[in-house]
Amino acid sequence: MCGRYTLTTPPIKIRELTQVKTSLNTPPLFNVAPTQDAPVLRVKKGSSQLGMLRWGLIPPWAKDATIASKLINARFETAPEKPSFRTAYRSRRCLVPADGFYEWRSENGVKQAFRIGLQEGKVFAFAGLWEDWNRPAGPGAAEEVLETFTILTTQANQKLTPIHHRMPVIVSPSNFDLWLNGEPDETRMLGQPYPSEEMIYYRVSSRVNNVKNNDAECVAPLTSAV
């Protein structure tokens, strides 16, 4: 599972990773939570674009937006067949830039938060899916189109298994084009756990437990990185 993540990398580094001509001038995001907007790379109108989408996928057939809280993640193994995700898997795959994500485990009866990322704090990208959803027009209001996304997860690698049995699918830059533009069957090989030796993690404070907290203290290490 992935329920919180970070994107504190300067916009120019995100542009270099995604190879798009324009960047989003977003402030550092120390505690991205479901229902919040975050940068997403996708192919739209024939070109790769960075846009701000809402985390928590809403399928086109949904009657209301409440389903989004249940669809912040999709299992890579079953997404191509699940009704909520199969259409997006075929034609609306995306990449979600990040430089860390949070996970929790119980230690001495207390849920301890960990920030997990790549060696040297490198920016990377999760595999994701996106959808358009038309919010019905209310009294005196026009119909609104919401663009939403979900993050795909897979079995955790050996390093992260002691913290959680699942982890987000991380796509290597060399496979960005395959994920965004390849045939669905061709992309199935990308769901493998990211290599343990390229990842690190460390304990952080309980500030990340509150979605209202979005500052550098959320990512401050309590212990050395492993």
> How do residues 155-204 score in pLDDT, each as one tens digit?
999 999 999 999 999 999 999 999 999 999 999 999 999 999 999 999 99
123 and 26 Cβ atoms separated by less than 8 Å: no
* pLDDT value, residue 180: 97
Phi, psi at 114, each rounded to 5°: -125, 140
Across the range 89-94, mean pLDDT stands at: 97
Section 27-34 average pLDDT: 97
Asked if 202 and 226 touch (Cβ cutoff 8 Å), the reply is yes
132-151: average pLDDT: 82
Q: What is the DSSP letter of 218?
A: G
- Average per-residue pLDDT for the chain: 94
SS3 assignment, position 184: helix
pLDDT at site 22: 77
At 124, the amino acid letter reads F
Catalytic residues: 2, 103
Instruction: Considering only the C-alpha atoms of the chain, give the largest distance between any 2 of them, rounded to a whole number of Å.
Output: 56
Per-residue pLDDT tens for 105-127? 999 999 999 999 999 999 999 99
Instruction: Sketch the domain layout of the chain as residue ranges.
Output: 5-218
d(CA 66, CA 133): 12
Q: Torsion angle of alpha carbons 155, 159, 164, 166, nearest 10°?
A: -20
Mean predicted confidence (pLDDT) in 62-86: 96
Q: In angstroms, rounded to a whole number, what is the distance separating the alpha carbons of residues 192 and 190?
A: 6
CATH of 5-218, one of 3.90.1680.10, 3.30.2350.10, 2.30.40.10, 1.20.1250.20: 3.90.1680.10
pLDDT-based confidence at 1, cuts 50/70/90?
A: confident
Distance of CA 33 to the CA centre of its chain: 10
Helix (H, G, I), strand (E, B) or coil at 192: coil
Confidence at 139, pLDDT banded by 50, 70, 90? low
Give strand pairing partners of 48. 43
Pairwise CA distance, residues 57 & 222, whole Å: 33
